[in-house]
Structure 1
Amino acid sequence: MSLAVEVEGLIKYYGKLRVLDGIDLEIPSGTVMGLLGPNGAGKTTTVRIVTTLLAPSSGNVRVAGVDVLKDPARARTRLGLSGQYAAVDANLTGFENLRMVARLYGMSHKRAADRATELLAALGLEQAAGRRAGTYSGGMARRLDLAGALVCRPPVVVLDEPTTGLDPRGRLDMWRVIGELVDDGTTVLLTTQYLEEADLLADRITVIDRGRVIARGSADELKTSIGGDKLTVTLATGQDPKPAEQILAQVGIGEVTRDTAADQLTIVVGDGTRTLVEALRRLDDAGVHVLDAEVHRPTLDDVFLSLTGKSPDRRASERSNDTVQEEILS
Structure 2
Amino acid sequence: MTTHEYVIEAEALRRRYAGGFEALAGISFAVARGEIFALLGTNGAGKTSTVELLEGLTAPDGGRVRVLGHDPYRERAAVRPRIGVMLQEGGFPSDLTVAETARMWAGCTTGARPTRQALELVGLAERSGVRVKQLSGGERRRLDLALALLGRPEVLFLDEPTTGLDAEGRRDTWRLVRALQEGGTTVLLTTHYLEEAESLADRLAIMHRGRIVTAGTPAEVTAERPARIRFALPEEVPPGRLPLSLKAAAEGRRIEIRTHRLQESLGELLLWARESDVRLEGLDARSASLEEAFLDIAIAQTETAGV
TM-score when normalising by structure 1: 0.83
CA contact (8 A) 1:84 1:161 kept: yes
Residue identity matched to 2:41: G
1:69 corresponds to: 73
Residue identity matched to 2:11: E
- 1:90-239 to 2 correspondence within 5 Å? 90-105=94-109, 115-227=114-226, 229-237=227-235, 239=237
CA contact (8 A) 1:235 1:292 kept: no
Work out which of the residue numbers 256, 266, 279 in structure 2 matches 1:276: 266
CA drift of 1:69 comes to 3.2
SS of residue paired to 2:89: coil
In 2, Cα distance between equivalents of 1:97 and 1:153: 17
CA contact (8 A) 1:239 1:289 kept: no
Q: Does 1:3 align with 2:6?
A: yes
CA contact (8 A) 1:7 1:25 kept: yes
SS of residue paired to 1:74: helix
Residue identity matched to 1:204: R
With CA pairs under 8 Å and 6+ residues apart, which has the higher RCO, 1 or 2? 1
Q: Does 1:297 align with 2:297?
A: no
Which runs of no fewer than 5 residues in structure 1 stay unpaired?
A: 312-330
Q: Does 1:258 align with 2:261?
A: no
SS of residue paired to 2:140: helix
SS of residue paired to 2:107: helix
Q: Does 1:27 align with 2:38?
A: no
In 2, Cα distance between equivalents of 1:115 and 1:237: 67
Root-mean-square deviation (CA), in Å? 2.2
Residue identity matched to 1:135: Q
CA contact (8 A) 1:89 1:133 kept: yes
Identical columns (%)? 36
Counting matched residue pairs gives 297
- Cα gap change, 1:133 to 1:266, in 2 (>3 Å): same
CA contact (8 A) 1:243 1:288 kept: no
CA drift of 1:209 comes to 0.7
CA drift of 1:256 comes to 2.5
In 1, Cα distance between equivalents of 2:69 and 2:270: 57
CA drift of 1:124 comes to 2.3
1:83 corresponds to: 87
TM-score when normalising by structure 2: 0.89
CA contact (8 A) 2:41 2:47 kept: yes
SS of residue paired to 1:62: strand
Which runs of no fewer than 5 residues in structure 2 stay unpaired?
A: 302-307
CA contact (8 A) 1:91 1:133 kept: yes
